[in-house]
Amino acid sequence: MLEFIKKIFSGDNASPRDHANSRLRLVLTHDRLGSSAQLMETLKEEILEVIARHVDIDGQPEVRLISEGKHAALDINIPIKGR
């Protein structure tokens, strides 16, 4: 009961199991690639540099690793300036 009330007031609906799953998803994707947070930062900077050379970037670009089962992908989301 106390835990239930705590949950309502903390505003955190994710269970410890959900936390474990999302943390594992991230850490396993990085482990399998042999990559680190530093590598992701470098990738992001260099990709943006190339894109920015040709088009105007608008807003908050995102570069991240996503994975499903054995497969991993680089998810690059770069908003480009419209008119």
Partner 1 sequence: MDNKKKDGQVIVVTSGKGGVGKTTTVANVASALAKMGQKVVVIDLDIGLKKLDLILGLENRVIYDIVQVIEGECTIKQALVKDKRFPELYMLPAAQTRNKDDISPEQVVALCDQLRPDFDYIFIDCPAGIEQGFRNAIAAADQAIVVTNPEVSAVRDADRIIGMLESAEFTDIKLVVNRLRNEMVKKGDMLSVDDLLEHLCIDLIGIVPEDKGILVSTNRGEPVVLNERSQAATAFSNIARRLSGEEIEYLSFDDESFWRRLRRGLFSSR
| Least gap, CB of 55 to partner 1 (angstroms) | 38
Site residues (CB under 8 A) for partner 1, limited to 8-37: 15-18, 20-21, 23-25, 27-28, 31-32
**Range 43-52 contact pairs with CB under 8 angstroms and sequence separation of 24 or more:** 43/74, 47/76, 47/78, 48/78, 51/78
Site residues (CB under 8 A) for partner 1, limited to 54-73: 69-70
Kindly list the residues in this chain that would bind partner 1 in the complex (CB under 8 A): 15-18, 20-21, 23-25, 27-28, 31-32, 69-70
